[in-house]
Chains A and B, each alone.
Chain A
Amino acid sequence: MDDFGHAFALAFELIVRLDADLLEIVGLSLQVSLTAVGLAALIGLPLGAAVALFRFPGRVAVAALLNAFMGLPPVVVGLIVYLALSRAGPLGVLGLLFTPAAMIAAQCLLVIPIVAALTAQTVADLHEEYDEALRSLAAGPGQALLTLLWDGRHSLLTAVLAGFGRAVAEVGAVMIVGGNINHATRVMTTAIALETSKGNLALALGLGVILIVLALTINLAALALRDVARAQHA
């Protein structure tokens, strides 16, 4: 149990010292996960909205798949991306394996279902409310989609933050496709796994504390931004 006390002490020390390795790892974690979530939002927001609004063949199947894939095991996604990007695989020529780009791709795949499924629910609810008014105003389907996405932005922000939480916390995918290479593809979660395997449990826990604080900070910042925006011009 005094591992916990030791862990907090180590975490504090690393932060105060602005440990260079720590900063590098934190920087890469943020780079990878934020980029992945950004891309996933670009894809997932319109995808979820389209599933909620448009009738197309297979719509029910797509909606069910999106919901189911919210629970995709990260290690499975990592494995699939690894097989695709390996030199022996179909996309091997890109030479992306063991690079941050591969990690971004894997995390993006993990996050898209979360963003899309939650967006679909939000947009479907808004659609109930706005449908008549938007049709009365002669909004086209694409215009209606964008309007609903913008109007639902507060709920959608929560969906995106949920996606970020998933990305920054997972280790299975980035370990396999990134290789946990020192100074190249090592992120917070893989560093924690490494220190654990070295028996440095207090340090691993300390890194875990830092990761949680990081996620907390991001979330607080996002919500603060939202409140500012709300106050300005809801």
Chain B
Amino acid sequence: MPEPRNVTARDRASGLGGATILPLELEGVVFEAGGQTLIHALSARFNAGPRTIVLGPNGAGKSLLLRLCHGLLRPSRGRVIWHGRQDGHGQQDGHGHPGGERLDRAGQPGRETRRRQAMVFQRPVLLRRSALANVAYPLALRGMARAEARARAAEALARAGLDGLAGRPARVLSGGEQQRLALARAWVTEPEILFLDEPTASLDPAATRAVEELVLQIHAAGTKIVMTTHDLGQARRLAEEVLFLHQGRLIERSPAAAFFAAPRTPEAATFIKGELVI
């Protein structure tokens, strides 16, 4: 069982015997849908290490950005590059597929790369099986033997404080418990990077706190965190680095302390004051 400590991705990668997938580089990524440009020529680099919060008002394109990074959407133009290697089929025709794609016989792009990532959505999508089985599921997908998968899943549940609920049907758990279960499921595969899309937007404060603590734990164990939120307080609590998005553009990027103390752009300043950014 991995001890929570400040492990860098490179440390772990050498332990795994395979190349790390970080840094993640976005080069001029554009996303268009329904005749509109929703993400404008966005370039950014995500290194291992700091907890990165993607901040911005609703409709800024934060969720789209996460999905483009994770490969759930393909950019209309531009490139998504993991550790110097282009992601799967992303470069071939550059057509975006908004709204999710059907699986096709050519398979999913960059599957190996995808396996070292994980994502938690605003509303957790859990399978109709027990909590333990849900957490063991991604391990089973990777061909792990059933007994070992269940043992690791049990550990992950314990780390998430859910071990008492292992045998319960996942769908009867409370909202907060389900989200922590989703986190445990994401964590059990020891991803290098974890994307979180407004994970606490639907939760009450107590559940939100439990989720935030879990995120901190996961980060401490060595996973890069990239999380979106429109909640200033949450950003202040969790961010080590802030990317501020507005109307599909990356307006500002700074270390957290600098961002909250002295935002460089008027939009960021307006947002931090708690006012509407039009």
Contact = CB atoms under 8 A, between A and B. Distances in A.
Contacts, number: 76
A115 to B, nearest CB: 20
Interface string A42-65: 000000000001111000000000
A138 B130 contact: no
A131 interface: yes
B172 A132 contact: no
Contacts of A131: 100
Contacts of B170: 234
A122 to B, nearest CB: 12
A137 B108 contact: no
Contacts of A87: none
B133 to A, nearest CB: 7
Contacts of B111: 138, 140
A175 to B, nearest CB: 41
Nearest to B130: A233
A151 interface: yes
Contact of A54 (B70, B103, B119, B138): B103
Contact of B130 (A136, A143, A151, A234): A234
B125 interface: yes
A144 interface: yes
A138 to B, nearest CB: 4
B5 interface: no
A233 B128 CA distance: 9
Nearest to B112: A138
Contacts of A234: 128-130, 169-172
Interface in A111-144: 129-133, 135-141, 143-144
A140 B108 contact: yes
A86 interface: no
Contacts of B107: 140-141
A53 B103 CA distance: 6
A85 B103 CA distance: 39
A16 B127 CA distance: 46
B104 A54 contact: yes
B141 A139 contact: yes
Contacts of B237: none
Interface string A137-171: 11111011001001101100000000000000000
Nearest to B137: A137
B102 interface: yes
Given A139-B141, A140-B111, A133 B104 contact: no
B105 A54 contact: yes
Contact of A56 (B100, B105, B118): B105
Interface in B92-147: 100, 102-105, 107-108, 111, 114-115, 117-119, 121, 125, 127-130, 133, 137-138, 141
A144 B138 CA distance: 11
Q: Which of B130, B141, B167, B169 has the most CB of A within 10 A?
A: B141
Interface of A: 53-56, 129-133, 135-141, 143-144, 147, 150-151, 153-154, 230, 233-234
Given A54-B102, A130-B127, A136-B72, 5 more contacts: A55-B104, A135-B108, A141-B105, A150-B127, A233-B130
